[in-house]
Structure 1
C-alpha cells in the first residue's frame, strides 16, 4: 500500500516513470518486431509493408511532438501522460483485432500519437520541470538506466506470449498489462507542475530558433540519431554478411541495449569534471571510429565484438545529453516546447535513415553504409564541439 506522502515524493515519481518508460517502450515499440512473422502470415503482408507501419508510428510521434511539448509547458505532464497511456493501451488492444494492412497503419498512427504523449520526451519534460540542475542528471539517469532494459525484458516476454497464446491474444495481454501499470502510475505519481503563466514561452522558442547554437544541437543529434537507427536496423544483417552465424550476430547486436546503459552511467559520472557537450562529442566520435573499424576487423569474432562494444557505449548517450544541454542553455520554462521542436527532425531522421542505408547497401555495399554512419557520427561530434565553443564564448562576454 502506497501512503499519500510517498505518492508526493520525487523518489516515487522517478520510480514510477522508470517503470512506465520500460513498459511503454517494451509494449509500444520493441514488441512490434516479434509480431512481424505471425502478422505477415495472417494478414498476407510482406515484411516491408509491416515495417512501414512502425515507421509511420515513429513519424507520427515526431509530428505530434511540438504540440505535446507546448501542452507540457503550459499544463504539466499528469493529465497528458495519463490520457496517453490509456490511448496507447487502447491502440494495442485495437491492434489485436486488425484484419488488413490498412487497419494496421491506422492503429500505428494512433500508437505514434500515444507514444509522443508518454515516452521519453514527455517524461524528461516532467523531470526537467521538477528537478534543479544538481539533481536532474541523476533523475534522468535513473529513469533511462531502468528503461534501457525494455528490449531485454519485452522481446523475450512477447515471444513467449506469442508462442503460448498466439499473436492476437498476446497483444490483448500486453494492452491490459500496460493499462494496469501506466495509467495509475501516471495519474498518481506525475506532478502537475507547469511553467509560470506569465512566461513568454513563444518568445523563448523564437529566440532559440534564431540562434546558431540551437541548430548546432539539432544537427548533432539528428546526425547521430540517424547513425544509431541505421546500426540498430542493419547491424545483424551486416554481421551475417561478414560471415558470422545468425545466432552470434543477433547476440552481439543485443549488446547494444546493455551497453547503452553503460554509456549513460559513464557520461553522467564524467559530468562532474567535464562539460556535457564535450563528453557527448567524444562518445559520438568513438561511434564513428567503431563504424570505420567494423568493415576492417569485423570478420573475426573478437573484432566484431570490439567494434560493436565501441559503438554501443554511445548508443544511449544522446538520450540523456539532449535534455541536459537544452535545459542548461535555455532554462526550464519552455523546455518541452524546445524539445518538441528538436524532436520532429530527429524523429524523421530515425525513421528515414535505415531506408536510405538499405538502398546504399544494395547498390554500393555495407562498407559504404558504415562510411556514411561514421561521417554522421563525426558531423554530430563536430557540431557539439562548435556548440560548446559558442557556449564558452558567450560566457566570457
Structure 2
C-alpha cells in the first residue's frame, strides 16, 4: 500500500468476520444474481419478440442495451461518490426500486423511443445496484483476506446469473409472452432486492472515519498519478476484449465451420471458466503480486485469441483456445478491487472505482460494435488480432503499474 493509502486507510477491526458480514455477502450474492439476470442477461431472450411487436429491426432494438450500458458508465463516477459518502444501503435500495419500476415500464413499451427511455432508467439503476456498488459495500466492510474471500464468494454465485436466467426467461416468454414475463421478472426482482438491500446492508463503523475533504484530496491525488491511469488503461482494454469475445464467439465459431450447437456449447464454457479463473487467481494472489498474476492471465487470453483463427476450425483447437481465453474471463472483476484497495485504501474506493468504470464499462459497450464493423470489413481474423492486442496491452499496463507502485513504496 502506498504512503497515501496508509495515511487514509481506516482502522482494521473484526467486523469483516462477523455474522453480519456473512449476511451481507449472502444478500448481495442473491441481489447480484437476480440483478444481472433481469437487468442484463434477459434482454437477449426478449430481442426477437420485441422486434415483432415493435416493428423494428434487430440492431434498432439491440441499441437499447448499448444505451443502458453507456448510461451505467456515465453514472458510475457520481454513484461512486455517493457510495463513499453514504454507504451502499440507501443507494442500492433506491437503485433496486428504480430497476423494478424500469422493468415494469419495459413491459409496456410500444415504440423505440419509449424503449430507449426505459433503458436509460435501466442503465441508471444498474450503476446503483450491480457489481461496482456491491464491491464497494464489501470493500468497506471487510479487511485483508476476508475481503478477497467475500468478493470471490459473491462473484462465484453471481457468475451463474446467465445460466439461471436465460433458460428461466425463455420458459416464461414461451408460456406467458414477453410482456407478462417482464412483469414477473420485475416483481421477483423487487420482492427480493429491495428488502435485502434495505434491511441487510449496513455501513461498517470504523474508528477513523474519513472526512469528505480527505476523500476528495485522495481522489485528486490519485488521478494525477500514472498508477491510476495504468489501471484504467489495463481494465478498459481487457474489458473491451472480453466483451468482444462474449458477443462474437458463437458467430465466429460457426464462421469457422462448426455447428451452432457445438459453438453454443463451447461458448457456454466461458461461464464455468470464469469461476475457475477467479478461484485460481485468488489462490495465486496470496503468493505473488496481484497485478503480475492478472497480467499473466491476460497474456494467456491474448494467446488464446490469436490462435483461434489458425487452429479454431478443428474441434480440439477451438476448445483449447476457448479454455485459454476463458480462464481469464472473470479475473478482471475481482482483481481491480484488490489493486485499488492495496494502492489507495478503502476511504475513496467507490469514487476511484467509479472513475475507472466510466472508461471500462463504456469500452465494454462500444468494443463489440466496433468489432462487428471490423469483421464485416476485413474479417474475423482481424477482430481476434484486436482482442489479442487489447489483452496484451492490458498485461503490459499491469506490469508497468506493478513496477511503478513498487518504486513509489520503496522511495
TM-score (norm 1): 0.97
Which residue of structure 2 aligns with residue 258 of structure 1?
272
Equivalences for residues 3-152 of structure 1 within 5 A: 9-152=20-163
Is the contact between residue 8 and residue 189 of structure 1 (CA under 8 Å) also seen in structure 2? no
Is the contact between residue 85 and residue 212 of structure 2 (CA under 8 Å) also seen in structure 1? no
Q: CA RMSD in A?
A: 1.3
Deviations 1:157-178 (A, max 9, x none): 0000000100000000000000
SS at the partner of 1:184? helix
Which residue of structure 1 aligns with residue 392 of structure 2?
378
Alignment of 1:338 with 2:362, yes or no, is: no
User: For the residues of structure 1 that align with 2:203 and 2:232, how far apart are their CA atoms?
Assistant: 28
User: For the residues of structure 2 that align with 1:189 and 1:298, how far apart are their CA atoms?
Assistant: 47
Which residue of structure 1 aligns with residue 295 of structure 2?
281
- The farther-off stretch of 235-244 and 187-196 is 187-196
Q: CA deviation at 1:197?
A: 3.2
Pairing partner for 2:363 from 349, 353, 364: 349
Deviations 1:95-138 (A, max 9, x none): 00000111000000000000000000000001111111231100
Structure 1 unaligned spans of 5+: 1-6
Pairing partner for 2:187 from 155, 173, 176: 176
Is the contact between residue 84 and residue 348 of structure 2 (CA under 8 Å) also seen in structure 1? yes
Q: CA deviation at 1:255?
A: 1.0
Pairing partner for 1:156 from 167, 188, 194: 167
Deviations 1:126-155 (A, max 9, x none): 111111123110010010000000000000
Change (3 A) 1:18 1:165: same
Change (3 A) 1:83 1:302: same
Which residue of structure 2 aligns with residue 230 of structure 1?
244
TM-score (norm 2): 0.94
Deviations 1:336-394 (A, max 9, x none): 00000000011111111011111111111000100000000000000000000111112
Which residue of structure 2 aligns with residue 165 of structure 1?
176
Q: CA deviation at 1:189?
A: 1.2
User: For the residues of structure 2 that align with 1:28 and 1:108, how far apart are their CA atoms?
Assistant: 9
Is the contact between residue 371 and residue 383 of structure 2 (CA under 8 Å) also seen in structure 1? yes
Structure 2 unaligned spans of 5+: 1-17
Post-superposition, which runs of at least 4 consecutive aligned residues in structure 1 deviate over 6 A?
none
SS at the partner of 2:210? coil
SS at the partner of 1:97? coil
Deviations 1:297-355 (A, max 9, x none): 10011111111111010000000000110111011001100000000011111111011
Which residue of structure 2 aligns with residue 4 of structure 1?
none
Is the contact between residue 250 and residue 267 of structure 2 (CA under 8 Å) also seen in structure 1? yes
SS at the partner of 1:9? helix
Is the contact between residue 80 and residue 351 of structure 2 (CA under 8 Å) also seen in structure 1? yes
Is the contact between residue 243 and residue 364 of structure 2 (CA under 8 Å) also seen in structure 1? yes
Q: CA deviation at 1:8?
A: 6.4
User: For the residues of structure 2 that align with 1:231 and 1:126, how far apart are their CA atoms?
Assistant: 30
User: For the residues of structure 2 that align with 1:248 and 1:100, how far apart are their CA atoms?
Assistant: 36
Pairing partner for 1:327 from 304, 316, 341: 341
User: For the residues of structure 2 that align with 1:44 and 1:303, how far apart are their CA atoms?
Assistant: 41
Is the contact between residue 107 and residue 183 of structure 2 (CA under 8 Å) also seen in structure 1? yes
User: For the residues of structure 1 that align with 2:162 and 2:19, how far apart are their CA atoms?
Assistant: 30
User: For the residues of structure 2 that align with 1:260 and 1:372, how far apart are their CA atoms?
Assistant: 21
